[in-house]
Amino acid sequence: MENIKQYKKVLTIAGSDSGGGAGIQADIKSISATGCYAASAITALTAQNTLGVHGIHPVPVDFLAQQLDAVFTDINFDAVKIGMLHSTEVILTVKKALLKYHAKNIVLDPVMVATSGDPLLQEEAISSLKNELLPLANLITPNLPEASLLLGKPITSQNSLADAAQELAENFKTNILLKAGHFNDATLTDVLYNYNTGNTIFYENTRIDTQNTHGTGCTLSSAIASFLAQENDMTTAIQKAITYLHQALHYGKDYQLGKGHGPVHHFYNCW
């Protein structure tokens, strides 16, 4: 019994994507490919493919709470990734579980709009997300549309990312990784504002010309949670996750899946 091994374990709390490119499916692939064991609690089912979201079926909050109790009482998670939370009731249910079970290394991807432009968060739930859940996270990873919604104003250039990241961090009193992927520049620079140290860190990458970008936010946030679970510091975990996503985009660009935005190649280093 002395040689029993322990996995590094990550719980993803998010919605399911029937097309497999984003949501729970992308989270599990990303966490697995970056070296951790993935468990899940599903907040909603979506009828979804590479062209868009055709329907959302929320999981009853009582059953979501049952999922969370089941996994938290049995498994000691090293990190938690949070994605799609459809309603205020879901947000409050997740908050209760995070506090009850003293969750650590919480990475929250504030999923509000799909790559296709389809809304994934009820309008009335945005204030609940801001007030109830974002301050509990160790890291929030908004893209440009999400950051603009959270700030209440547009972000129009990469030059303004650092100020926007700092403003978000001060608003929610936590670390912010602001992603530049929606810009069309040849070089894209994601910005981390570390709320604890006041430092701003820049992660620069070249743009990859591909339409296979479905689930990039899910993939990145899950990889960050995975690398935090492996006891990397925040700066290193983010750098490793960004490198992983960049490679997954690169190796996935020549594939075609469906008629719209295809997925990244999560397992590029395996096959």
Contact 77, 48 (CB under 8 A): no
Would residue 216 show up in a list of annotated catalytic residues for this protein? yes
Cα–Cα nearest to 32, from 248, 249, 233, 214: 248
Give me the residue spans of the domains in the chain.
9-252
DSSP per residue, the chain: -TT-----EEEEEEEEETTSSSHHHHHHHHHHHTT-EEEEEEEEEEEEETTEEEEEEEPPHHHHHHHHHHHHHH---SEEEE----SHHHHHHHHHHHHHTT--SEEE----B-TTS-B-S-GGGHHHIIIIIGGG-SEE---HHHHHHHHTS----GGGHHHHHHHHHHHHTSEEEE--TTS--SEEEEEEE-TTT--EEEEEEEPP--S--BTHHHHHHHHHHHHHHTT--HHHHHHHHHHHHHHHHHHHTT---SSS--B--TTTTT-
Q: Given 8, 9, 81, 179, which residue is catalytic?
A: 179
Contact 222, 12 (CB under 8 A): yes
Is the CA virtual torsion 260, 261, 267, 269 positive or negative?
A: positive
Q: Given 218, 219, 252, 262, which residue is catalytic?
A: 218
Q: Dump pLDDT digits (tens) for 81-101.
A: 999 998 999 999 999 999 999
Which of the pair, 159 or 208, is modelled with greater confidence? Answer: 208
Q: What is the pLDDT of residue 127?
A: 86
Measured between alpha carbons, how far is 98 from 111 in angstroms, rounded to an integer?
18
Q: Dump pLDDT digits (tens) for 174-205.
A: 999 999 877 777 888 999 999 999 999 999 99
Q: What is the pLDDT of residue 186?
A: 80
Cα–Cα nearest to 167, from 188, 191, 187, 183: 191
Share the mean pLDDT of the chain: 93
Q: Given 19, 20, 217, 262, which residue is catalytic?
A: 217
Report the pLDDT averaged over residues 49-68. 95
Q: Given 21, 215, 252, 262, which residue is catalytic?
A: 215
Q: Dump pLDDT digits (tens) for 101-125.
A: 999 999 999 987 665 556 667 777 8
Question: Which CATH fold would you assign to the domain 9-252?
Answer: UDP-N-acetylmuramoyl-L-alanine:D-glutamate ligase (3.40.1190)
Q: Given 50, 93, 213, 219, which residue is catalytic?
A: 213
Q: What is the pLDDT of residue 149?
A: 87
Would residue 215 show up in a list of annotated catalytic residues for this protein? yes
Burial class (CB in 10 A: 0-12, 13-18, 19+), 16: buried
Q: Given 216, 240, 252, 262, which residue is catalytic?
A: 216
Would residue 179 show up in a list of annotated catalytic residues for this protein? yes
Would residue 130 show up in a list of annotated catalytic residues for this protein? no
Contact 212, 92 (CB under 8 A): no
Would residue 83 show up in a list of annotated catalytic residues for this protein? no
